[in-house]
Structure 1
Amino acid sequence: MSGKSCVNSAKGHERPLLITLGEPAGIGPDCVIRAFALQGEAFRNAIIVAPPAWLEGRARLLGLSLNIRVHNKPRACYQTGALNVWNPVAEPEENVLAGRPSVETAKTVVACIREAAMSCLRGEARAMVTGPIEKAVLREAGFSFPGHTEFLASLAGDPPFAMMLASKQLRVALLTTHLALREVPQALNIEHAVRTICVVARDLKRRFSLTSPKLALCALNPHGGEQGHFGPEERTILTPAVDQARKQGINIEGPLPADTLFSPFMRKRFDAIVCCYHDQGLIPLKALSFGEAVNITLGLPFVRTSVDHGTALDRVGSPDVNPNSLLAALAMARCMTMGENRWEN
């Protein structure tokens, strides 16, 4: 896989980068505060989209001092020494109990995500970085989407999109996302597979400056289906999808057996691996890069990156909360939005 360090040759952008906390009762606020304490420069021209009280309360719990600069709209903010915050919600700020999500705060979480995305769509912000959400409480609050990815795609007019996770060692994209394993075979089809492959190939060119990305498609069944003996999906869906993608000029191989595709030798051959279901891609990625990988939504008209971890409600306030994935997501978003960039080993 091509490397991931960004070398920027462009001047700083005026439009800010927006950061949403995700679930405020989880470690999202911890990660922002600890990341800012470790690398304040990473937050230059970045704005947290949240009620300031959510950050102030968590800083007190952590025993850390925190200077906040409040904005009434997204704007360039290159001053250092304070965390920039924009609260787009007019309602009174709800109290947040660490480790205890509530329906009331969930509604504000959704509103902050929506406003950040709309700011990107209006061209007021250059990208958004999202913290982890607590999906169960969001559903209780009336949120009808499986996750961030589908919600943002809906706000953007439902363009073809794909979920990709990336680290220094590996990039994986998914044909299906948050779905029960038993439902995966029925969810796979040629049209969707080709569409996802095309989105991945296009955005690797557009966002990662890879002129001719090399992709692999992972088989669904053991040993690639063993000529249909272990399942028909490779013959009836995945191979035809690869054939159609190749006809569109995409450099892709597969379907290839999952048990060898993630070996060091095979990983070096490809810029991204397209996987059939969630854990097929995320298990190898997190085994290699847990805490340092980045979740990316491809296909949107703006850049969106996210951390690779959950809300960790039981670890709120813990001194061992690691903000590295947030810092990686910030760095990735900046690189993906630069007018001129290149990715090096």
Structure 2
Amino acid sequence: MKPCLITVGEPAGIGPDCTLRAFSQTPQALQNCIIVSPLSWLEDRARAIDLPVQLKAFSSLNEAKSYKPGQDELRLWNPIPETDVGSVTAGTPSASTAHAVIGCIEAATRACLANEAAALVTGPIEKAILKSQGFQFPGHTEFLAHLSRKNHDDKITDFVMMLASDTLRVALLTTHMAISEVPEALSIEATLDCVRIVNHDLKHRFGIKQPRLGLCGLNPHAGEQGHFGREEIDILAPAARIAAAEGINITDPLPADTLFSANSRKNFDAIICCYHDQALIPIKALSFGDAVNVTLGLPFVRTSVDHGTALDRVGRQDVSSSSLLAAIAMAKRMCDKP
């Protein structure tokens, strides 16, 4: 069985804490997992939080895969040259580690694309630090799609960011952008692409035979028949009609203020939202700490935690690994689907 790869993200944040605590508290959950990280990032943090974890580090993925760890051993693959690892101060991000953070994500992604690993689970990154060092992407999602395109002759043209919990799944038509830019970014074709990807991956990654999709309107009251905006009339409703004609079970654009109510959301396997906070506010209100970020449309399984780097919480005893454990469990379930 191919391993699941885990990147810790920003080494000054809680990514290393979550990884170490997850293994310490629930070692069986990380069976057949390999952490993609320089050894010092986890070794130093384990010492700082007084958490004795046996770390077994390898310079190649094949070596890490071949090693049979004991019950108290956590395997690491470090693809980063020692000169590029950088210096880590807990709670204070440094530009010196930016290239190593990016390098770990890229190496793990390429391993998944080469079918050398089953899935990728990512820890939170500090985007501002990475951008200061030339990282040109809004976040993980866009970077992974870019790498997938480069490795598949540009066949990967579309992707969808979805957050999922036992209570709710939300998918985004737009991801990381200013709210003022959202209306211009919406289109019939982009909406259709998103709907098709969500419908496809709910079937093939989640095993839902007939996905039921809800579609959020952009404007208050879903535009109130054009009184509060025409995006519902000109973009969202036409896309929903085309999708329905293709056999996809999707609603017309509905008011977002009622679509997430307990009685309403139980009717859907996923709700498609127009912008970041329209999706993330309800799912984090309902499931923060238990939700998982999933990238749909990629040629491999990718999940992530639903929280940020939490620089002010590094080293605290109450740092929770629940979202990381949920992301690992969901990645494994998705890999099990035919």
**What band does the TM-score fall into relative to the shorter chain?**
over 0.9
Question: What is the rounded CA distance, in whole Å, between the counterparts of 1:268 and 1:100 in structure 2?
Answer: 42
Q: SS of 1:269's equivalent?
A: coil
Match of 2:103 in 1: 111
Q: SS of 2:208's equivalent?
A: coil
Q: Once the two structures are superposed, what CA deviation does each residue of 1:194-236 show, in whole Å capped at 9, x if it has no partner?
A: 0001000000001000111000110111111110001110000
Counterpart mapping for 1:43-122 below 5 A: 43-74=30-61, 75=65, 79=69, 80-92=71-83, 93-122=85-114
Match of 1:309 in 2: 307
Instruction: Measure how far apart 1:110 and its partner are.
Output: 0.2
CA RMSD of aligned residues (A): 1.0
Counterpart mapping for 1:122-133 below 5 A: 122-133=114-125
- Does the CA-based 8 Å contact 1:190-1:237 persist in structure 2? yes
Task: Find 1:171's aligned residue among 169, 173, 185.
Answer: 169
**One-letter code of the match for 1:53?**
S
Instruction: Measure how far apart 1:64 and its partner are.
Output: 1.2
Match of 2:10 in 1: 23
- Does the CA-based 8 Å contact 1:17-1:47 persist in structure 2? yes
Counterpart mapping for 1:1-345 below 5 A: 14-74=1-61, 75=65, 79=69, 80-92=71-83, 93-157=85-149, 158-339=156-337
Instruction: Measure how far apart 1:90 and its partner are.
Output: 1.8
- Does the CA-based 8 Å contact 1:176-1:184 persist in structure 2? yes
Q: Once the two structures are superposed, what CA deviation does each residue of 1:236-291 show, in whole Å capped at 9, x if it has no partner?
A: 01001101111221110120100110011111100000000000010000000011
- Does the CA-based 8 Å contact 1:294-1:325 persist in structure 2? yes
1:69–1:225 Cα change, 3 Å:
same
Runs of 5+ in structure 1 lacking a partner? 1-13, 341-345
Question: What is the rounded CA distance, in whole Å, between the counterparts of 2:322 and 2:337 in structure 1?
Answer: 25
Question: What is the rounded CA distance, in whole Å, between the counterparts of 1:161 and 1:229 in structure 2?
Answer: 32
Question: What percentage of aligned pairs have identical amino acids?
Answer: 59
1:233–1:72 Cα change, 3 Å:
same
Question: What is the rounded CA distance, in whole Å, between the counterparts of 1:304 and 1:16 in structure 2?
Answer: 13
Question: What is the rounded CA distance, in whole Å, between the counterparts of 1:270 and 1:76 in structure 2?
Answer: 43
- Does the CA-based 8 Å contact 1:66-1:83 persist in structure 2? yes
Q: SS of 1:208's equivalent?
A: coil
Q: Give the TM-score, by structure 2 length.
A: 0.95
Q: Once the two structures are superposed, what CA deviation does each residue of 1:63-122 show, in whole Å capped at 9, x if it has no partner?
A: 111201123333155532111100001233322100111112011000000000000000
Q: SS of 2:266's equivalent?
A: helix
Deviates more, 1:262-271 or 1:76-85: 76-85
**One-letter code of the match for 2:258?**
T
Q: Once the two structures are superposed, what CA deviation does each residue of 1:289-316 show, in whole Å capped at 9, x if it has no partner?
A: 0111000000000000000000011111
Question: What is the rounded CA distance, in whole Å, between the counterparts of 1:135 and 1:333 in structure 2?
Answer: 24
- Does the CA-based 8 Å contact 1:173-1:274 persist in structure 2? yes
Question: What is the rounded CA distance, in whole Å, between the counterparts of 2:291 and 2:233 in structure 1?
Answer: 32
Question: What is the rounded CA distance, in whole Å, between the counterparts of 2:206 and 2:68 in structure 1?
Answer: 25
- Does the CA-based 8 Å contact 2:158-2:297 persist in structure 1? yes
Question: What is the rounded CA distance, in whole Å, between the counterparts of 1:143 and 1:248 in structure 2?
Answer: 38
Count of paired positions: 327
**One-letter code of the match for 1:114?**
E
Runs of 5+ in structure 2 lacking a partner? 150-155
1:261–1:201 Cα change, 3 Å:
same
**One-letter code of the match for 1:305?**
T
